[in-house]
Amino acid sequence: KAGVTQTPRYLIKTRGQQVTLSCSPISGHRSVSWYQQTPGQGLQFLFEYFSETQRNKGNFPGRFSGRQFSNSRSEMNVSTLELGDSALYLCASSLAGGEDSPLHFGNGTRLTVT
Amino acid sequence: AQSVSQHNHHVILSEAASLELGCNYSYGGTVNLFWYVQYPGQHLQLLLKYFSGDPLVKGIKGFEAEFIKSKFSFNLRKPSVQWSDTAEYFCAVSDRGSTLGRLYFGRGTQLTVWP
């Protein structure tokens, strides 16, 4: 079974631009979560989607948004990029987000903002 | 919100040494607890999890963790480490009743095992 796939693997953007990251969950998984990983803050929860609905959101500004499609694939968007948005963005999927369905992580998208 | 503390930023051991990585969390309510591992160049993988029941949990590759509710701790142990255990280890917590998509992670402990 294929794992969680994130594209692209690397991205370089300029301050002020916007970016869209993509995540394809494991087949059959309906819950997708996004995390930001930085050396300074560690792993921080961004948001979680289940059946195309956002059901949890972390403490990030409104410039960070996401969505989930009917096939469970998810995208996250960051608008008006800032230097501090440089990070590894991780996507994780699970069957339904319940206790018997732990998170499976992708390899991440490394975003560099210059 | 939860806060998760991992006491050691970097641990260096020789093969066959015993390992214990500390993890404490802040929330006083009911929680689910996890340890994840990230081997060099690979994605985060679940090592073990605790939801309820026996506080001593066994995971993959000979790892185990003990939940001590009174100490808000969930320490990871392995009696004899191998070079292949070199990786970064993350403790994570979720609030019981919340979905498992929302985890609070510690800052991670880099384990280096010398052959």
Q: Is the pLDDT of residue A100 over 70?
A: no
Distance from CA of A55 to the nearest CA of B (A): 9
Q: Cβ separation of B101 and A48 shorter than 8 Å? A: yes
Residues of chain B in contact with residue A43, where contact means CB-CB under 8 angstroms, are 90, 92, 103, 105, 108
Q: How many CB pairs under 8 A join A and B?
A: 67
Which amino acid, one-letter code, is at B93? V
Residues facing residue B77 across a β-bridge: B20, B64
- Enumerate the residues of chain A whose CB falls inside 8 A of the CB of residue B42: 107
Of the listed ranges A11-25, B45-59, B97-111, the least confidently predicted one is B97-111
pLDDT tens string A24-51: 999 999 999 999 999 889 999 999 999 9
Alpha helices, DSSP H only, in B1-115?
none
Tell me the torsion sign for CA atoms B73, B78, B79, B80.
negative
CA distance A80 to chain B (A): 25
Per-residue pLDDT of B61-99, as tens digits, reads 999 999 999 999 999 999 999 999 999 999 999 887 777
